[in-house]
Amino acid sequence: MSSSLPEQEGRRRGLFRTKTVEESIRDTEEPEHALKKSLSALDLTVFGVGVIIGTGIFVLTGKIAKETAGPAVALSFIAAGVVCALAALCYAEFASTVPVAGSAYTFSYASLGEFPAWIIGWDLVLELALACAVVSVGWSGYIRSLLDSAGVQLPAGLSGTHEGQFGFDLLACILVLVLTAILVAGMKLSSRVTAVVVGVKVTVVLIVIAVGAFFINGSNYEPFVPESVPSEGGSGWQAPLVQLMFGFTPASFGVMGIFAAAAVVFFAFIGFDIVATAAEEARNPQRDVPRGILGSLIICTILYVAVSIVVTGMQKYSRLSTDAPLADAFKDIGHPFWAGLISFGAAVGLTSVSMILLLGQSRVFFAMSRDGLLPRVFSTVHPRFGTPYRSTIALGAVVAVVAGFTSIDVLAELVNIGTLFAFVVVAVGVIILRRTRPDLPRTFRTPLVPLVPILSVMASVWLMINLTAETWLRFAIWMAVGLAFYFVYGRSHSRMGRRG
């Protein structure tokens, strides 16, 4: 299991010094920096389902069916699920081999080196924080809608920023602070809260499928794959990068529309990788983490496909709502009770999404702090709860403020590019670690290496270049800030550098 002397010297050198799996696991055994192991395979699967099923299933289904794919949106979900499965297989191998907090950050430290690890860690902290803020604002919108139905209205100044009118989103801020307190109190409590919330959410989704099936009109599926219509591409910074690079403009509907839709609905699956960030807190990570990752992805893909088939069968795709398609489909056929239940399920569902995103970013931040790349004060765990309370509280406070002042439209797209970037890093890392450490025990092995990781990289890069140039610019700016922080602080305080 031990590496040779030349290999040890090589991994100590420069920006690409690596941290061996053995060193990563040894660091988890330090009393002040050791997370409590309390999660089972079921807990991890619930976390995965909890973060994946959110805005995507309640909103995106109708929007994509109406604008891009028609009833064939079900095929788009299958295609996106396949792309995610390629990445999930790579994550499962890494998480079972390196059962340490930090997900893609930790995996890249063991395979690509410290500098790439810093880049992906810096990226993940931003993406997960912004994702949590955006989801919290979405949750606030659902709650305000329910309050309005009950005759209760919040003052405009406490309802967030809308249509150029500045305001503070009190509900979103409160949600983040409450969830932060729950995460500080312990992973087992967090998993129990998540289990209840996910139970409610999945029940609502199953009700949509079961009840909606009785209102399906077969004629709404005709044509199942609508005739292709050329899309108008954006211009300047608003244009997709692929359009600026190759002059390619995506099409709506038709066969190409199915794949164009897959590039969008892919983001409804983001979240299964969060399971890997909790690997260190699993009781049997080598067995349970792969089960949690793959199990949650399979469950959510089945639910997405079923819901998309039902909703496009209940209402003609061209008439679907883009804001609340499931609820509005039931309203359209004269069943407001089910519509209200769906709105309630959406609000409840986004609660678990916010909490698990907070969990993920705090674990990545914790892992970077424990390695010395961020101040070590943030890697101390609570003596009673066994959680990284300092990093959780600090990040929770920042996200609460961002959620209070953020408009959903401003930051939503930035969430996507970092996750795809992480997928690329993990897939490449699997290939490298197979070559550099073939001796490592792997309880789960990605099949058909290097083919599956290469396909994962190609699929992720394709989706990345379909994002706008403006998104790439913002991503580059954040990365530049991260590079400056690394060379000013992280590199000189790195524990790996000092060990060398």
**Quick one: pLDDT at residue 4?**
46
Q: Are 123 and 478 in contact (CB under 8 A)?
A: yes
Selection from 130, 179, 193 nearest residue 405 by Cα:
130
Q: Half-sphere exposure of residue 50, counting CA atoms within 13 Å on the CB side? A: 31
Helix pair 285-314, 325-332: axis angle to 10 deg: 30
Query: What's the N-to-C CA distance of the chain in angstroms?
Result: 20
pLDDT of residue 2: 43
Residue 74 has a pLDDT of 92
The helix/strand/coil state of 442 is coil
Q: What is the pLDDT of residue 450?
A: 93
- What would the two tokens of residue 295 be? 């199990």
pLDDT of residue 5: 39
Continuous H helices in 226-335: 241-246, 254-265, 274-277, 285-314, 325-332
SS3 content of the chain, % helix, strand, coil (to 5): 75, 0, 25
Residue numbers in the chain where pLDDT is lower than 50 = 1-12
Residue 486, C-beta contacts closer than 8 angstroms, at least 6 positions apart: 115, 118, 122, 373
Give me 368's structure tokens.
């970077």
Q: Whole-angstrom Cα distance, residue 294 to residue 290?
A: 6
**Helix 325-332 with 187-212: angle, nearest 10 deg:** 30
Parse the chain into domains and list their residue ranges.
Answer: 38-499
Give the pair of three-digit tokens for residue 81. 């699920």
What local confidence, expressed as pLDDT, does residue 411 receive? 57
Sign of CA dihedral 140, 143, 148, 154: negative
Residues in the chain: 500
CATH for 38-499 is 1.20.1740.10
CB half-sphere exposure, 53, CA atoms < 13 A = 33
pLDDT tens-digit series, residues 300-334: 899 999 999 998 999 898 888 766 677 778 878 88
Residue recorded with tokens 């002059």? 247
232 by DSSP, 3-state: which? coil
Interacting residues of 26 by C-beta distance below 8 A, sequence separation 6+: none
